[in-house]
Structure 1
Amino acid sequence: MSEAIAVELDPLKMKRNTLEDQLGSLVTDPGVYRFKDEKGIVIYVGKAKNLKKRVSSYFNRTHTDPKTAALVRKVVSLNTVVTATEKEALILESSLITRHKPRYNIILKDDKRYPSLRINLHDDWPALEIVRRIEKDGALYFGPYTSSSAVHATVKFINRHFKLRKCKSSTLNSRSRPCLNHQMGLCLAPCCLDVSRDAYMEMVAQVVLFLKGRAPELVANLRKEMMRCASEEQFEAAAELRDRLFAVEKTLEKQVVVSTDMADRDVMDICMQGPAVCITLMQVRGGVLLGSRSYHLLETIAGPEEVAEHFVCQYYDKHAAPAEVLISHRFDAEEAVREHLRETAGRRVSVLFPSRGEKAKLMEMARKNGERRLAEIISGADADRKVLEKLMGRLGMDRLPMRIESYDNSNISGNDPVAGMVVFENGRPKKSDYRTFRMKADTRSDDYAAMEEVLARRFADSEKREPLPDLLMVDGGKGQLNVAMSVLEHLGLDGAFSVIGIAKMREEAGETQDKIYLPGRSNPVNMGTQPDLLLFLQRMRDEVHRFAITFQRRVRGKRSVSSKLDGIAGVGKKRKAMLLKHFGGVTAIKDASVEALGDLPGITPEIAHAIKDALR
């Protein structure tokens, strides 16, 4: 009887019954579906014009594609959201992918590491600035650019030939005289001089034309304005416009014209080889090729059509779509995508799939770039995998070290103790998973206690410890390795993954290379015959060392700028700055009388006494 009850209450069977019930209750309306694994984690998000037909197709047949088969095996439950139209399903799907970041979906990485240029036309005196994040704040953004040097070269050119203000908004109208930029002829100095706003905004419009790739139009405008100034005998203004015209014409000579219709368009090619995919995006503005970028994934269950659809939706949620978008592969929801882009851009956007003519030649250019880039990516991934396979064998691991975590402590003479954690996935740094730790306990003179605290905080919470590493490396040799093993054993993670320690060589002891230690083994692992493995681990050790030191300097820097005036009731940033400026330093403030302090504006007798008491 007890055995029958145990079988009846088997959790896996209950989940399967739940999945079967959910499949049986599917409707034929459009909507979005989410697949979940046994832990309730969303592993895939999809949309469908007919939910019942689309979702059932995953479970009603045997999949030849191993990735899709692996996905189906992990699905234990699902839920659906019915929408009124396919377009609404498209928007909801993109939102849910961004929120859940499912393992099996195409996820476009954030562009925050790429610089963009920003001009806010709503400011009284718009300025050009370099930013790392594109916001929906009504400002004009140009980019993102893959090359920081190209961005700074562009800004340098604009600063030299267009005299926009360089100061920040917070300092505008606060200067009594122009700064050095004005004296060098690089700024009109609207912060303190009487500058015509119409003339300034005309210059801003010229900068916008230049950044939009409308250089021919800008040249025509500059030539017309130059001739007008010359005819009105405004020779200095005409000479300035002439120099600006020559500079823009010189940049035109270096630009690559790829289309004769001078249109704005993005060209997207989807190149796949097995489960790996490379998405190439070429930006053409005014017929001129501004640049090319690529996105890649080494593993995906999606075909090129689904990749194209997901990429378009995610990319243009963050960037303004041009008049035309050329795509290499058709997808089912192309009409819904057109409507979505039209609404987000606020104007008509054409989504085309060219097969001949000039536009097809652009697609061919993007395809060749994509094929070359994908070959480089696959070659690099193969080399990384070979290193990981050799590392697995050398360390006697039972699985490939796809995720490696490395830890290191940092302090200055025992002060401001911190630690850093870096993560390598598939042999490459995964900076989004890097973590820093500020020691909560008093570990100033005890590196072992610091490592114990860090590892306990990383792995103590069973709900937040995922994902677990395949390999954990601590910097410090056998001592830190023993600390790590003790912590993991206490947390019930003994044997859950491999652990190693790395120690620097001691030249005075005749050692010729760094040492790698394994638990329960007194002698280091012999890495002499495979120096590439030691080099890989050293590179990871150096990365966590750099990361921890950088964080420690930042913590120490914040502490060093503190003042004895901080925390005094009634003394904020402005009064603190006023006191320091008037007296020249904290010592002089300490020596000043209560009456001298009270003579300053805003310093009441009560605040003056509080200052004296705090500094006594």
Structure 2
Amino acid sequence: MAFDHKNALKDIPPQPGVYRMLDAEGGVLYVGKAKDLKRRVASYFGRALNRRLVVMVSQIADIQVTVTRTEGEALLLENNLIKAHKPRFNVLLRDDKSYPYIRLTASDTFPRLAFYRGPKRGGDKYFGPYPSAWATRETLQLLQKLFPVRQCEDTFYATRTRPCLQYQIKRCTAPCVGFVSPKDYAADVAHSVKFLEGRTNEVIDELGERMEQAAEALEFERAARLRDQIATLRRIQQRQYVSGDGGDLDIVAAAGEGGSVCVQVFFIRAGRNLGNKAFFPQVPDAAGLESVLSAFLAQFYGDKELPPEILVNAEPDEREFLEAAFTEQAGRRVGIKHRLRGDRARWLKMAEDNAELALKSRLGSRAGYARRLEALRDALDLDELPARMECFDISHTGGELTVASCVVFDGDGPRKSDYRRFNIEGITPGDDYAAMEQALTRRYRRVQQGEVPMPDVLFIDGGKGQLGAVGQVLAELGVSGLKLVGVAKGPDRKAGAEQLWLPERPSAIILGADSPALHLVQQIRDEAHRFAITGHRQRRDKARRTSVLEGIPGVGPKRRQNLLKAFGGLRGLARAAPEDIARVDGISDELARRIHDAVSKEST
């Protein structure tokens, strides 16, 4: 039965809001926003449509709308619904990360510069966003060379009794032990802030005056250091600056080829290029760059800080709606511009060239990946190309703090949003079979409950024995219908000599070292290994950073700080008698005995 759109339009008001196109089973085909819902929805039925929209409209069985007060509310609701339902006819951006900032603490006498990701807190200063953690940390390292403002954790800073290595290599002025006055430290902080705000010329002028004063006072060593700082700043200026007016803006350029799209975003803050990032949204067939950019901007900036200007290489659909929604979201005017001249046109061309280059590289690697996938299908005698593959690996140090990893590959390559780690507990240390059993049980119970898709192929890092144990675990869970493959390293444990074990075969499959199928298996196995090792190291580092004091009831952050200050660290505390511990402010005799017992036990 054809959908009666005329009857449906009668109940749709001419107000801002969000509409949802539903199919006969109630699934969401498409989510859209509009300043005028009635006019926007009617446009799908009263004009010539492209092939993608014709297919979508032919499947509509119902239309639901939600009225909002403003365009900004509609934008936010649309973004949430797209993330929740992932409609097949929407452009889908897989980017749930918050972007990192550099934070300057404001409440300390000696403020700290630090990497930060999360909601902003009042009082502190934030600089960014940066496109990646790498770009943020690179800037922090650069700042530490230029202006020695501390970057250490507050807990480390508070317990110092002598300068650390950063002071020795001239990357810090040791405020923790009073080697720098608050006034001199504040000057370095001010220079750091000006640099991050793009006011580098002011910093250079100030350093130039100080260099001349030092030379006049015959302080030639100090003058030489200031000269080197100025030279470094000028080199950075030449490399990073793209705008002489010091403005904040983002440059967003899209490029399409072969049904795929790359969107390149450059972050310009205070005239400085903080870096760029490429996105490859999932795009329905026949979607133009205008609709791709419109959907990308709505989803990308749905929960992010907006610059005053966004430069784009094609006018997005509903540009005026987006500008109104972004202006409301930011609390100030936000403009989306695409007709540009001069420097800005050149920046946009640069972003467009980068998008095209990244897309060609991705298409080339995707073609190679497709060939490896076809070769794997043939090697494992599968009926069709595997749509989802999982691989498990185990990592530990001497059996301690065991972590299991599960990585997922689909038809396009690694699906990192589906990666999972499992902290293994309650097993005999070093028992990899028991660790694998626990990880598989936890994972495939969720598969059986329908929370996680069933893979076509399951790789296990191990040989015939490991494969048999895994097969038994899956049988007990009632998991069937997947191809189980053990990846053994071979007699010499050399790359290229791997053996593939299948439960139904008495002997291993040995592929040539140049086999595309083997290269894919190695890639999947190595990724599982990397992910497991990373998780184990993080768990181990966290255990090492955790003080024995944190496990003692009644010892909170303040008392821990008092104890460590009083005894100069855990080593001094371990040598102290209960009576000495009880003299510390806030520590009772009973608590002192408990602290003494816990610390003494840990140090033995």
| Of 251, 269, 278, the match for 1:294 | 278
Distance 1:367 1:100 in 2: 31
Q: Deviations over 1:332-361 (max 9, x none)?
A: 432333234444445443321115444333
Question: Which residue is 2:263 aligned to?
Answer: 279
| Of 234, 251, 257, the match for 1:267 | 251
Q: Deviations over 1:157-210 (max 9, x none)?
A: 432332423443446676566666557655455545497756654543432332
Q: Deviations over 1:201-255 (max 9, x none)?
A: 454343233234343344345446767x589979788776555434323433x33
Question: Which residue is 2:458 aligned to?
Answer: 472
Where 1:339 maps in the other structure, the secondary structure is: helix
Listed as ranges, the matches of 1:64-103 within 5 Å are: 65=51, 79-98=64-83
Matched, 1:210 2:198: no
| Of 527, 532, 535, the match for 1:548 | 532
Question: Which residue is 2:488 aligned to?
Answer: 503
Q: Deviations over 1:339-391 (max 9, x none)?
A: 34444445443321115444333322322222222111111111112211222
Say if 1:327 and 1:353, in contact at 8 Å, map to a contact too. Answer: yes
Listed as ranges, the matches of 1:178-217 within 5 Å are: 181=166, 186-191=171-176, 193=178, 200-217=185-202
* Unpaired runs of at least 5, structure 2: none
Give the superposition deviation at 1:278.
0.9
Distance 2:280 2:544 in 1: 43
Listed as ranges, the matches of 1:334-345 within 5 Å are: 334-345=319-330
Shift of the 308–123 alpha-carbon distance from structure 1 to 2, 3 Å rule, reads farther
Where 1:210 maps in the other structure, the secondary structure is: helix
Say if 1:399 and 1:470, in contact at 8 Å, map to a contact too. Answer: no
Say if 2:396 and 2:402, in contact at 8 Å, map to a contact too. Answer: yes
Say if 1:30 and 1:48, in contact at 8 Å, map to a contact too. Answer: yes
Q: Which amino acid aligns with 1:466?
A: V
Distance 1:443 1:74 in 2: 56
| Of 436, 441, 451, the match for 1:456 | 441
Question: Which residue is 2:128 aligned to?
Answer: 142
Give the superposition deviation at 1:26.
4.1
Matched, 1:377 2:362: yes
Where 1:460 maps in the other structure, the secondary structure is: helix
Q: Which has the higher contact order (CA 8 A, sep 6+)?
A: 2
Give the superposition deviation at 1:460.
2.2
Question: Which residue is 2:384 aligned to?
Answer: 399
Distance 1:335 1:294 in 2: 25
Where 1:520 maps in the other structure, the secondary structure is: coil
Give the superposition deviation at 1:405.
0.5
| Of 334, 352, 361, the match for 1:349 | 334
| Of 480, 484, 491, the match for 1:494 | 480
Q: Which amino acid aligns with 1:380?
A: S
Deviates more, 1:485-494 or 1:497-506: 485-494
Identity across matched positions, percent? 36
Distance 1:580 1:246 in 2: 41
Give the superposition deviation at 1:298.
5.5
| Of 107, 114, 136, the match for 2:93 | 107
Distance 1:337 1:602 in 2: 57
Shift of the 349–533 alpha-carbon distance from structure 1 to 2, 3 Å rule, reads same
Deviates more, 1:270-279 or 1:513-522: 513-522
Question: Which residue is 1:10 aligned to?
Answer: none
Say if 1:388 and 1:402, in contact at 8 Å, map to a contact too. Answer: no
Say if 1:106 and 1:307, in contact at 8 Å, map to a contact too. Answer: no
Shift of the 479–332 alpha-carbon distance from structure 1 to 2, 3 Å rule, reads same
Where 2:280 maps in the other structure, the secondary structure is: strand
Distance 1:381 1:259 in 2: 36
| Greater Rg by CA | 1
| Of 255, 275, 292, the match for 2:239 | 255
Where 1:251 maps in the other structure, the secondary structure is: helix
Where 1:46 maps in the other structure, the secondary structure is: strand
Say if 1:37 and 1:74, in contact at 8 Å, map to a contact too. Answer: yes
Q: Which amino acid aligns with 2:192?
A: V
Distance 1:445 1:204 in 2: 49
Distance 1:334 1:398 in 2: 47
Where 1:424 maps in the other structure, the secondary structure is: strand
Shift of the 605–451 alpha-carbon distance from structure 1 to 2, 3 Å rule, reads closer
Q: Deviations over 1:283-339 (max 9, x none)?
A: 445666554432223544543223222333444456544443211121343233323
Say if 1:117 and 1:130, in contact at 8 Å, map to a contact too. Answer: yes
Shift of the 603–362 alpha-carbon distance from structure 1 to 2, 3 Å rule, reads closer
Q: Which amino acid aligns with 1:361?
A: R
Where 1:506 maps in the other structure, the secondary structure is: coil
Shift of the 387–284 alpha-carbon distance from structure 1 to 2, 3 Å rule, reads same
Shift of the 43–489 alpha-carbon distance from structure 1 to 2, 3 Å rule, reads farther
Distance 1:285 1:183 in 2: 33
Give the superposition deviation at 1:561.
8.2
| Of 11, 26, 34, the match for 1:48 | 34
Where 1:329 maps in the other structure, the secondary structure is: coil
Say if 2:440 and 2:473, in contact at 8 Å, map to a contact too. Answer: yes
Question: Which residue is 2:18 aligned to?
Answer: 32
Distance 1:89 1:65 in 2: 27
Say if 1:142 and 1:212, in contact at 8 Å, map to a contact too. Answer: no
Say if 2:143 and 2:192, in contact at 8 Å, map to a contact too. Answer: yes
Say if 1:178 and 1:193, in contact at 8 Å, map to a contact too. Answer: no
Where 1:457 maps in the other structure, the secondary structure is: helix
Listed as ranges, the matches of 1:172-183 within 5 Å are: 181=166
Shift of the 220–325 alpha-carbon distance from structure 1 to 2, 3 Å rule, reads farther
Where 1:164 maps in the other structure, the secondary structure is: coil
Shift of the 89–555 alpha-carbon distance from structure 1 to 2, 3 Å rule, reads closer
Where 1:255 maps in the other structure, the secondary structure is: helix
Listed as ranges, the matches of 1:212-251 within 5 Å are: 212-223=197-208, 243-251=228-236
Give the superposition deviation at 1:533.
0.9
Shift of the 32–197 alpha-carbon distance from structure 1 to 2, 3 Å rule, reads farther
Shift of the 358–553 alpha-carbon distance from structure 1 to 2, 3 Å rule, reads closer
Where 1:204 maps in the other structure, the secondary structure is: helix
Q: TM-score if structure 1 supplies the norm length?
A: 0.77
Distance 1:441 1:182 in 2: 44
Give the superposition deviation at 1:82.
0.9
Q: TM-score if structure 2 supplies the norm length?
A: 0.78
Q: Which amino acid aligns with 2:261?
A: V
Say if 1:391 and 1:533, in contact at 8 Å, map to a contact too. Answer: yes
Shift of the 126–142 alpha-carbon distance from structure 1 to 2, 3 Å rule, reads farther
Q: What is the aligned length?
A: 590
Distance 2:151 2:334 in 1: 35
* Unpaired runs of at least 5, structure 1: 1-12
Shift of the 405–78 alpha-carbon distance from structure 1 to 2, 3 Å rule, reads farther
Distance 1:552 1:543 in 2: 14
Matched, 1:310 2:295: yes
